[in-house]
Amino acid sequence: MSPGYPALRQVDVHTHALPQPLWRWLVDQGLADTDVPREAYDVPARLAYMDEAGIEVHAVSVSPHLRTPEDADTGFVRELTRRSNETLAEFVAQAPDRLVALAAVPVGLVDAAEEVRHCLDDLGMAGVVLATRGMGRDLTDPVHTPLWELLAQRGTFALVHPVAAPGRDGALAAALDVATGVSAMLHAGILETYDVPLCLAYGGGALPSVRGLLQRGWERLGERPALHHSPLDQLRRLYYDTAAFDSLQLRQLVEFAGPAQVLMGSDYPAPMGDTDPIGVVEACQFGPVQEMITGVTATSLLRLT
């Protein structure tokens, strides 16, 4: 351990769960497969994996892919969100020193902030997972103003996660979804107005690759008056997980944003997920700053004790 760092906890900020009561309900609704990785619903199995991988803490969320971004049934969205959060709270309570919950947010609904307040205050969750869209609305829609105000007031950690894009390649859609969603927030002034610790899933998707285009547009296409800080400055203040699945891209991400802005994230136990996220970081040979990526910063953002 490097001098000056606190006792290190290896923290994975991007993992998912499908608690059994929620899984059974979804199967009954015809909305889930009967074949799910055991670690998604069985806490002892997950802890055994974590021990083997050397990970002390998982920040766990129910995948936003359970709903489509164009769902218009408000009753269903509210029920799915509440069931997701209540069962997730029970799931992490089985190992409170190893698992912390990120609340599902009913993006697109006017009462999204109230659900988040319930999760933070009543269920003791450590943060939220924000789908890029919901109910046909993205995160720049004015309906989300109370949500942004609450997250900023609390300094709540938020993992920005893509949602399904039917009819398109899933991996490419995820990369583009993160990029377009965050670009929209940048240009709408959301990132400047609300000081929220946002972590972008999948290493920011395609966003780091187009940062030069965003900067040039701000400089030359009349976008400057709308923003007080340049796109590059704003992007450097965001957090990014390590689930880029490419060592060169991950090293470039750390070089761009700095090691304090990159957090270990695996997407475990999803099919695309990293099963050895610590090894992924170690392979990049970051040296002493690796500890910031694998646990130091996340421990602070999630307020782990």
Structure confidence by residue, pLDDT tens digits, 142-200: 999 999 999 999 999 999 999 965 555 788 989 999 999 999 999 999 999 999 999 99
pLDDT in tens, 91-145: 999 999 999 999 999 999 999 999 999 999 999 999 999 999 999 999 999 999 9
Nearest to 59 by CA among 136, 154, 126: 126
Q: What average pLDDT does the segment 272-294 reach? A: 95
For residues 119 and 128, the answer to whether their CB atoms sit within 8 Å is yes
Q: Domains plus CATH for the chain?
A: 11-153+241-301 (3.20.20.140)
CA distance 50 to 66: 25
Is this model's pTM higher than 0.85 or not? yes
- The token duo for 184 is 């929209």
Residue 28 CB: number of other CB atoms within 10 A? 9
- pLDDT number for residue 7: 44
> 269: cis peptide before it, omega within 30°?
yes
224 pLDDT tier (thresholds 50, 70, 90) = low
Q: Can you say whether the dihedral through the CA atoms of 39, 43, 45, 50 is positive or negative?
A: positive
CA distance 77 to 47: 30
- pLDDT number for residue 68: 74
pLDDT in tens, 229-271: 999 999 999 999 999 999 999 999 999 999 999 999 999 999 9
CA distance 104 to 66: 11
Q: What average pLDDT does the segment 75-102 reach? A: 97
- pLDDT number for residue 241: 98
Q: Helices (DSSP H) in 198-244: which residue ranges? A: 211-220, 231-237
33 pLDDT tier (thresholds 50, 70, 90) = confident
Q: What is the DSSP letter of 168?
A: S
Question: Residue 215 — φ and ψ, nearest 5°?
Answer: -65, -45
- pLDDT number for residue 223: 63
CB-neighbour burial class of residue 289 (10 A; exposed 0-12, middle 13-18, buried 19+)? middle
For residues 58 and 100, the answer to whether their CB atoms sit within 8 Å is yes
- pLDDT number for residue 225: 61
Q: Where are the beta strands (DSSP E) in 146-254?
A: 157-161, 198-200, 239-241
Instruction: Give the angle subtended at the CA of 237 by the CAs of 231 and 241, to the nearest 5°.
Output: 110
CA 250 to chain centre: 17
